[in-house]
Chains A and B, each alone.
Chain A
Amino acid sequence: LSVRIKKLIFSPKLFFLAIFVISTLLISYTFLLATSDGELGATSEGSADMTLEIARLVRLSNMADVAFGQYSGSGDLSADRDVCVWTNDADATYVVTATGDGEDSAFTVSAAAELLAYTVYWNDTASTDNNILLTANQVSAAMGNANTSSHSCGGVDNANFQVIINQTSLLASRPGTYTGVLTFVVAPAP
């Protein structure tokens, strides 16, 4: 008898029947879990389950150009701008990567073939105090203080970048109007 039972249990027919039953049950369960149709009647109620994942988002705004004007021949040139960083991350943290438009994303401005290097600092407050030197095309350390409630920071900037061109570089440069584009990419902190 046990041999017959074993044959029955392990027969291909029963195997495929088991597979069919299990699949049907799983599909039905999944279907019932996601949505439900209503009954035919004076009212009918159906439901749909919704799932939405919101990624960690950031926004950098209130950017402004840096126009140093004409160099007088004395001292470093320094300019800074307050900006707004928003994130939906509850930690209010982010990282920033700056790139210049020089070779290998170097921080340089140019006039024809002449290049003039500059340095870039970032601060996670709207001031230059204790700001951090950025390396071109390298992700910064984690910054904080991002606004988590307003894309535009409610009009109150919460970060700052500073651009400095030192006197030695300026005096070593040929006359001309030097221009360049400095790009900041803000991303949620890892």
Chain B
Amino acid sequence: LQCTEPLIRRQWKPKQVSEELSPKQQPIFIAKVVWARKRRAIMKTFIKLLIVAITMLLYSLPVMAASDGVAGETSTGTTDITVDIPPLVRISGMEDIEPAPYTGGAGGIDEDFDLCVYSNMAAAGNSYDVTMTSTSPWGGATADQFRISNNTNEQEIAYTVEWNDEDGTGGSAVTYNTPLTGQTGWSNDVDCDGDGDNANLRVQMTQTNLLAVLAGEYTGTLTVVISPE
């Protein structure tokens, strides 16, 4: 007999369990124990299914906050309005860089301009990243490097870039396609109206690089991407 199993002890009073069962009573008792086990297993399964069903029901319920009015001398309806505004940025005031023809000066080429960076972020505790890449017409130009090139000459001129998070030069060197982090000093006005320019982009080409290529027009595009940090 399996009278000592915990399950049985839970199902029947100790008095009943401890009683000696006659041979006639034993099959009945065992049948009761088996039925109790089955019943317990069925209930467990039922509860699990019930929990799953309730969970699915809750998830499937639409979130309806709008309310209709009832008929009356006035009727009131409501609608919930939600809009999510993410951190936004804008760069403006970009200019083309078109230096005068290079005549061999030792200083190479050094061009910069001030521009406007807008963000809706609060100044405290926030910053933005600057990531720059370049493209140029000659397909054979060195990858992952700021460059301008001439397709006819099949030559390129590498250049360096600096970004300053305030107007005027004196910023940080930018690595190709690598975010320059921790930039601040944006305007909350989308056009920097009233605030003025608040950043500076500087491009420099060394005399060595300029003298290393054939005469001609070298072109390219420098792309500047601002993103909230």
Contacts and interface: CB of A to CB of B under 8 A. Distances in A.
A and B from one complex: yes
What's the dominant secondary structure at chain B's contact region? loop
Interface string A49-61: 0000001111111
Contacts of A7: none
Contact of A60 (B76, B80, B82, B189): B76
B81 interface: yes
A136 interface: no
Contacts of A109: 81-83
Contact of B80 (A66, A116, A184): A66
A47 B137 CA distance: 102
Contacts of B120: 171-175
B188 interface: yes
B67 interface: yes
A57 B73 contact: yes
A71 B83 contact: yes
What interface size band does chain B fall in?
A: 20 to 34
A184 to B, nearest CB: 5
Q: Which of B64, B73, B189 has the most CB of A within 10 A?
A: B73
A55 B79 contact: no
A173 B120 CA distance: 6
Contacts, number: 150
A60 B68 CA distance: 6
B77 A60 contact: yes
B74 to A, nearest CB: 4
B77 A61 contact: yes
B71 A68 contact: no
B88 interface: yes
Nearest to A179: B82
A185 B75 contact: yes
A68 B82 contact: yes
A86 B118 CA distance: 48
Contact of A177 (B64, B68, B84, B122): B84
Contacts of B87: 175
A166 B128 CA distance: 25
Nearest to A81: B79
Contact of A63 (B68, B71, B82, B86): B68
A116 B83 contact: yes
B64 A65 contact: yes
Nearest to B73: A55
Contacts of A73: 86, 88, 90
Contact of A174 (B66, B85, B90): B85
B190 interface: yes
Contacts of B121: 174-175
Given A174-B120, A175-B120, A58 B72 contact: yes
A61 B71 CA distance: 9
A175 B79 contact: no
Contacts of A81: 79
Given A171-B120, A172-B188, A65 B82 contact: yes
Interface in A173-190: 173-188
Contact of B84 (A61, A70, A181): A70
B81 A57 contact: no
13 contacts: A63-B66, A63-B68, A69-B84, A172-B188, A172-B190, A173-B120, A174-B85, A174-B121, A176-B85, A185-B74, A186-B75, A186-B77, A187-B73
Interface of B: 64-88, 90, 118, 120-122, 188-190
